[in-house]
Structure 1
Amino acid sequence: MSKKMKKPVYEVNPHTMIILPLKTKSGVQSEVFELNDHRISSFTPLFLIKTSCQYFGSSYEGRREGTRFLTGVTHKPPIMIDPVSFTYAFPTTSAGRDDCIWIFPQHISEYYDSNYNCTTIRFNNKQKIKISVSFATFNNQMARVSMLHMKFSQKMRAVETEYPYSNLLFPPVSLAAESREPYNTKEVSDTNDNFVDFSYPEMSKQKKNKENKEE
């Protein structure tokens, strides 16, 4: 059963996989999936992203500006929330929209086209989530966050080369920009029980209400 959180505000951490918007009678809240946890926050996804940026020493606007400076991306830009743990996130739509989902790509093992402009994501913990975002759009956002990671890593390597005795806390991290095969976009079976279909939120909501009544 999901944990209901009122306060304090949820803070993004290295275990955060995805933040989904959850529409309720009182407004938009957040459904957060972590590697080993699942919880509900009474705040919007964008509010959680903004406060998490502040928690790690910057503003949300500052992170967006950093992305623009490094990559030139201004529309739906990915951001680096925490430079020490290399925690990245990207929005699936314009961040101010109520249906915007925030994805943390470092936990994605594969993703694939699910037809009808939907994409299914499989995370490293085997959790699968289907969202109403076209494969082309999702793939483009993955490319953008990969570019951000590459540009930032290049900057850090340049600093380490110029100042080799500096005690820099930037250990190498495997992500899309590293020399490995990070994403497998082949078709896989949807028979896994550990599957969340967020492509039709209303249907998912009805399913949850039914499960709650049975409990």
Structure 2
Amino acid sequence: MNRLHYQIHEETMYIVPVNNGGYIESRVGETYGGGIDCRLNPNKLIERNCRNHSQNYAARKDLTKTLTGITSKLPVILDLFGAYIYFCTHSDRIAENNWFNIRHVQSYWNDGGMTRVQFSNNEERIIDISYASFNNQYLNALKLHYKFNQQKEKYQKKEMNMHFQYPTLGRGEVAQINETIYHSYINYINGLQIKDEV
């Protein structure tokens, strides 16, 4: 079945391009079952999924630049909490782009000038990109993962300090403080995005 759209979830491993009569579409690999075809090209599918998580693709790229200093072929965090981090093999100006969920890349190695990737379900795919380039993109995604989690830890420490400072608060008051911390975090992330746009 060829879908118009596909919702990325925790079992999504990769999105690769497929030429369908001159149109670039997507083949999505999941940890179970066969591949799923989607009529959107891989870049459009990533953009649409950013919107599904109330995010903007351009803002997600800006967040990556701010956190990591990476300026090209940017990995992106699709969701607000960093559960879905994807990296690409080419510029997002090229429709024939491959996107990989960092959590499902088990190993990869050189295969005749290209890269063979093994995923978490032991499926293997040969990708038309050199090992050095693939490795660089993978390491960029790891850097994004690390930097994003550093930011999350800072806010978790603040939350722990709030609980320590107010040990006698009632359950409703603690919930209000947690809500305030959550909104402070959202404002911080949005502030990073706005600062980069200026």
For the aligned pair, the TM-score class normalised by the smaller chain equals 0.7 to 0.9
What corresponds to 2:168 in structure 1? Answer: none
The alignment status of 1:27 with 2:48, answered yes or no, reads no
| Cα drift, residue 26 of structure 1 | 4.9
The Cα offsets for residues 129-185 of structure 1, whole Å up to 9 and x where unpaired, read as: 11111000011011111110111111110111112243789xxxxxxxxxxxxxxxx
Letter in 2 for 1:67: T
Aligned mates of 2:88, 2:7 — CA distance in 1? 17
The alignment status of 1:143 with 2:146, answered yes or no, reads no
Map of 1:114-193 to 2, 5 A cutoff? 114-116=111-113, 118-164=114-160, 165=163, 166=178
Letter in 1 for 2:141: V
What corresponds to 1:210 in structure 2? Answer: none
| Cα drift, residue 6 of structure 1 | 2.9
Unaligned ranges ≥5, structure 1? 170-215
SS at match of 1:163: helix
Aligned mates of 2:11, 2:137 — CA distance in 1? 20
- How much is the aligned-residue C-alpha RMSD, in angstroms? 1.7
What corresponds to 1:104 in structure 2? Answer: 101
The alignment status of 1:80 with 2:77, answered yes or no, reads yes
The structure whose residues are more often helix, as a share, is: 2
What corresponds to 2:14 in structure 1? Answer: 18
Unaligned ranges ≥5, structure 2? 164-177, 183-198
- Work out whether residues 30 and 41 of structure 1, in 8 Å CA contact, stay in contact via their aligned partners in 2: yes
The Cα offsets for residues 57-98 of structure 1, whole Å up to 9 and x where unpaired, read as: 101101000000100111001001124361110110001213
Letter in 1 for 2:56: S
- Identical pairs, percent: 26
What corresponds to 1:66 in structure 2? Answer: 63
What corresponds to 2:37 in structure 1? Answer: 40
SS at match of 2:135: helix
Letter in 2 for 1:50: E
| Cα drift, residue 5 of structure 1 | 2.7
TM-score normalized with structure 2 length: 0.78
